[in-house]
A and B are shown apart, each in its own frame.
Chain A
């Protein structure tokens, strides 16, 4: 697997932002040689974090969300930067809720599929870092 790095901008408007994310992933997977399982884990986790940003951090008039995707021989990494509201991440938001709850699973799913899910606030910027090592975690 070669080093591949791509940069994308995602609209802060949900419909456009989500469609742009899936288009970005399709383009990235065309170049990155990873297994279908890795695509599912990484793509699903990334979509959950982007959905969280679109729903809770940014508004459509905000600046675009910056996405960097990087594939190296042993890891996949995504970095998301937005200028939306700061995210408070209490522990229960990365824990799966009760079976019958209809919401509140997004970040728990992202964390479950990844090796690292990190959020940091720098000034007025939110920065998310997602890492999946090339060897899938044991079930």
Chain B
């Protein structure tokens, strides 16, 4: 499941950390060029049985509204399966986007991956 998104500036690395929890590390720009692919990967992860997805955002240099849409899509799929999607190590630009859109109410940013994995 790891790899670069074809033709775009994004690398996705998927690391299962527990039986039902997975850390997805994104590197690059999360924008309209990759949003559909990222949303599809997140749905695939849920289909494989993972229920807690933590997205490590520390190396995401830029997020646009399409990227936010992919995260919302992933969150909906995870919640429908009885799980959750959490963001960790969110950069200042992504924090500004989440705050402006008030999506930080449902995509609550956690300071790091460990905290996101352990949160109730």
Closest to A39 in B: B93
Report the separation of the CA atoms of residues A22 and B9 in the bound assembly, to the nearest whole angstrom. Answer: 11
Interface size class of B (residues with CB under 8 A): 20 to 34
Q: Which residues does chain A contribute within 8 Å of B4, judged by CB atoms?
A: none
Given contacts A47-B62, A99-B106, contact A105 B31 (CB under 8 A): no
Q: On chain A, which size bracket covers the interface? A: 20 to 34
The CA-CA distance from A51 to B64 in the complex, in Å, is 9
**Are A15 and B102 touching (Cβ within 8 A)?**
no
**Hey, what's the 0/1 contact readout for B91-104 against A, CB within 8 Å counting as 1?**
01100110111110
Residue of A whose beta carbon sits closest to that of B100: A112
- Which residues from chain A contact B68 at a C-beta distance below 8 Å? 105
Q: Check A36–B102 contact: CB distance below 8 A.
A: no
Task: Please name the residue on chain A nearest to B70 by beta carbon.
Answer: A102
CB–CB A109/B65 < 8 A? yes
Q: B residues 52-93 with Cβ under 8 Å of A?
A: 62, 64-66, 68-70, 72-73, 76, 92-93
Contacting pair A109 B92 (CB below 8 A): no
Q: Return chain A residues, CB-CB under 8 Å to B106.
A: 99-100
Interface majority SS (helix, strand, loop, mixed), chain B: helix
Are B7 and A15 in contact, CB atoms less than 8 angstroms apart?
Answer: yes
**How many CB-defined contacts (below 8 Å) exist between A and B?**
73
B residues 1-44 in Cβ contact with A at 8 Å: 7-9, 29, 31-33, 39
B100 in complex: contacting residue of A19, A43, A99, A109, CB < 8 Å = A109
Given contacts A47-B62, A48-B65, contact A109 B32 (CB under 8 A): no
Q: Give the distance in Å from the alpha carbon of A47 to the alpha carbon of B73 in the complex.
A: 21
Q: List 8 A-B contacts (CB under 8 A).
A: A15-B33, A51-B65, A51-B66, A96-B101, A99-B103, A100-B106, A103-B66, A139-B99
Q: Which residues of A contact B (CB under 8 A)?
A: 14-15, 18-19, 22, 36-37, 40-41, 43-44, 47-48, 51, 54-55, 96, 99-103, 105-106, 108-109, 112-113, 139
The 10 A-B residue pairs whose C-beta atoms are closest, nearest first, are: A102-B69, A105-B65, A106-B65, A112-B100, A40-B93, A102-B73, A102-B72, A103-B69, A40-B96, A51-B32
